[in-house]
C-alpha cells in the first residue's frame, strides 16, 4: 500500500480516483476526539481529511481567522463524506448556508446510495459513489440549488437477477430491510443492458417519487443517465428526440430547456419523505405556476409527437420503413401519463374541474385503457365528473 504522502500527490494530479481516496481513507480514518484540545484544527483536518467532524472544526477555525474561502472548502469536504458523520456534516451545511455566498438559499437532500455486485467489484466503490453524487450535484446546482449528500452507502445483491432494470429493482426490494424513512434512494449498476426489448433502458425513476435506478459506464464518475433520472424525481419531463436537452433520453446534451426549467423552479424545494405527493411536493409549489409549466410541456410534447407522425406518413420510402419509423415516433413517453395524471390533480386542487376531467381522460389514453394505470385514470375522471354534476346548480 502506498504511503499517505504519495496518495495525496496522486490525488493532486487526479482527484477523481476512488481507489486512491479509499487507500488514503484507510490510512487516515477518523480523528481521535480526545485530541481536539491538543492539535490545531487545520492540522487535524490535514491528518484526517475524510472526517466531517475534523473538517467542521477546521472550517470554523479558518472562519474565525478571516479566511472564508478556506472555511468553505473544509465545509464542502464535510458534505462529500456526510455518511461518515451525519451530525457534523449537517452542522457544516448550516455553516455553508449562512456564510457561503453561492450557498445561500440552498436546500439539502440526503441520498441513500445502493450498489449491486457489478459496481462493488471495483476498488474504492464507496468513494466512487460519493464522487458520482458530488459530480451530479454540482452539475445540477445551477437549476436545483440543492446539495445532494450521501446519507448511507450500501450494497444489494442481484446475482441471480437479470440485467433488466425492473429485475434489478425487484432484487433490491427483496433485500429484507425497510427503506430509509427519508431521502432519495439511488440504485446503481454497471450491468450491460440486454441486447433487445424494453429492458435495454439505461435508467428508470419514479416520477416525483424518491427512487431511481441508473446504469453507470465502467469507471464513470459524472453520469448523464443519473442526472437525467434524478430530474424525473423532481418532475422533469422527457422532451422530443428533436430537442437537444438533458431530458432527451437518447441525446448527449446537458442543457435544461425552458419548459423543464419552469417545472424545476417550482419543484426544487420538494421533500423526500413519508406522506406522498401531498406532503412532499404539493406543499412546496406555487399551484398556478406549476399548472402552467406542466400544461406547456404537455402541449409541446403532444404537438411534437403529432408532427413526427405526420412527417413519417408523408415519407415516400417503403411501407415497411415507414411502419418501423412510425412505431418509434409514436412510442409514448413512459412518464407522460404520470405527468397528465399529476397535472389533473393540480387542476382539481385549483378548482378547474372540467380541465382536470379532460386531462385524466388524456392520461388514461396515454397509459393505455386496459392497463391498471389507465383504468385508474379513467375511474378518476368518471368520479370527478360525477362530483361536478352533483355540484352543478339546478336548472331554473
pLDDT for the residue 243: 77
| Residue 274 confidence class, pLDDT cut points 50, 70, 90 | confident
CA angle, 159 then 113 then 134, to 5°: 135
Is it the case that residue 277 has pLDDT exceeding 60?
yes
Whichever domain contains 198, its CATH number is 3.40.390.10
Answer whether residue 396 is part of any domain: no
pLDDT for the residue 368: 83
C-alpha cell of 340? 397528465
Domain boundary among 215, 234, 253: 234
Answer whether residue 27 is part of any domain: no
Report the distance separating Cα 38 and Cα 171, nearest Å: 49
pLDDT for the residue 385: 93
Contact between 234 and 144 under an 8 Å Cβ cutoff? The reply is yes
Return the closest-CA partner of residue 133 out of 120, 114, 161. Answer: 114
| The total number of structural domains that make up the chain | 2
Same-domain status, 112 and 228: yes
Is it the case that residue 321 has pLDDT exceeding 90?
no
Answer whether residue 76 is part of any domain: no
330-354 pLDDT, tens digit per residue, is 554 667 889 999 999 999 999 999 9
pLDDT for the residue 272: 97
Helix (H, G, I), strand (E, B) or coil at 296: helix
Is it the case that residue 33 has pLDDT exceeding 90?
no
Contacts of 133 (CB under 8 A, 6+ apart): 111, 113, 148, 149, 150, 186
Same-domain status, 332 and 220: no
Domain extent for 156? 106-234
pLDDT for the residue 199: 55
Same-domain status, 321 and 206: no
Average confidence (pLDDT) over 70-89: 97
Report the distance separating Cα 32 and Cα 51, nearest Å: 10
The owner of cell 487526479 is 14
Same-domain status, 220 and 149: yes
pLDDT for the residue 136: 98
Average confidence (pLDDT) over 90-117: 88
Helix axes 287-313, 336-349, angle to 10 degrees: 140
Q: Are strands 146-155 and 203-205 parallel, antiparallel or unpaired?
A: unpaired
Helix (H, G, I), strand (E, B) or coil at 41: helix
Is it the case that residue 308 has pLDDT exceeding 70?
no
Amino acid at each position: 500500500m502506498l504511503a499517505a504522502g504519495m496518495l495525496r500527490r496522486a490525488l493532486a494530479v487526479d482527484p477523481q480516483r476512488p481507489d486512491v481516496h479509499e487507500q488514503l481513507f484507510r490510512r487516515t480514518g477518523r480523528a481521535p476526539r480526545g485530541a481536539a484540545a491538543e492539535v490545531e484544527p487545520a492540522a487535524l483536518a490535514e491528518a484526517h481529511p475524510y472526517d466531517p467532524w475534523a473538517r467542521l472544526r477546521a472550517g470554523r477555525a479558518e472562519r474565525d481567522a478571516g479566511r472564508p474561502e478556506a472555511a468553505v472548502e473544509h465545509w464542502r469536504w464535510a458534505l462529500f463524506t456526510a455518511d461518515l458523520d451525519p451530525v457534523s456534516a449537517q452542522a457544516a451545511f448550516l455553516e455553508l448556508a449562512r456564510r457561503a455566498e453561492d450557498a445561500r438559499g440552498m436546500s439539502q437532500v440526503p441520498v441513500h446510495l445502493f450498489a449491486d455486485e457489478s459496481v462493488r467489484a471495483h476498488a474504492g466503490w464507496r468513494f466512487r459513489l460519493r464522487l458520482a453524487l458530488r459530480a451530479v450535484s454540482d452539475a445540477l446546482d445551477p437549476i436545483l440549488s440543492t446539495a445532494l449528500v450521501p446519507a448511507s452507502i450500501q450494497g444489494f445483491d442481484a446475482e441471480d437477477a437479470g440485467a433488466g432494470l425492473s429485475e434489478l429493482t425487484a432484487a433490491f426490494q427483496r433485500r429484507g430491510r425497510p427503506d430509509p424513512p427519508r431521502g432519495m434512494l439511488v440504485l446503481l449498476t454497471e450491468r450491460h443492458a440486454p441486447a433487445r426489448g424494453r429492458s435495454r433502458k439505461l435508467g428508470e425513476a419514479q416520477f416525483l417519487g424518491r427512487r431511481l435506478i441508473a446504469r453507470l459506464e465502467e469507471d464513470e464518475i459524472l453520469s448523464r443517465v443519473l442526472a437525467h433520472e434524478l430530474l424525473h424525481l423532481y418532475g422533469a419531463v422527457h422532451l422530443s428526440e428533436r430537442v437537444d436537452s438533458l431530458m432527451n433520453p437518447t441525446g448527449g446534451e446537458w442543457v435544461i430547456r425552458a419548459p423543464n426549467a419552469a417545472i424545476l423552479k417550482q419543484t426544487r424545494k420538494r421533500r423526500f419523505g413519508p406522506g406522498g405527493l401531498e406532503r412532499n411536493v404539493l406543499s412546496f409549489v406555487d399551484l398556478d405556476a406549476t399548472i402552467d409549466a406542466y400544461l406547456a410541456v404537455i402541449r409541446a410534447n403532444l404537438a411534437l409527437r403529432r408532427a413526427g407522425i405526420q412527417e413519417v406518413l408523408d415519407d415516400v420510402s417503403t411501407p415497411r420503413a415507414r411502419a418501423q419509423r412510425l412505431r418509434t415516433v409514436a412510442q409514448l413517453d413512459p412518464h407522460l401519463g404520470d405527468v397528465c395524471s399529476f397535472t389533473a390533480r393540480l387542476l382539481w386542487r385549483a378548482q378547474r374541474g372540467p380541465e382536470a376531467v379532460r386531462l385524466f381522460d388524456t392520461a388514461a389514453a396515454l397509459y393505455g385503457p386496459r392497463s391498471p394505470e389507465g383504468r385508474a385514470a379513467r375511474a378518476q375522471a368518471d368520479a370527478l365528473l360525477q362530483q361536478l354534476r352533483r355540484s352543478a346548480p339546478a336548472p331554473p
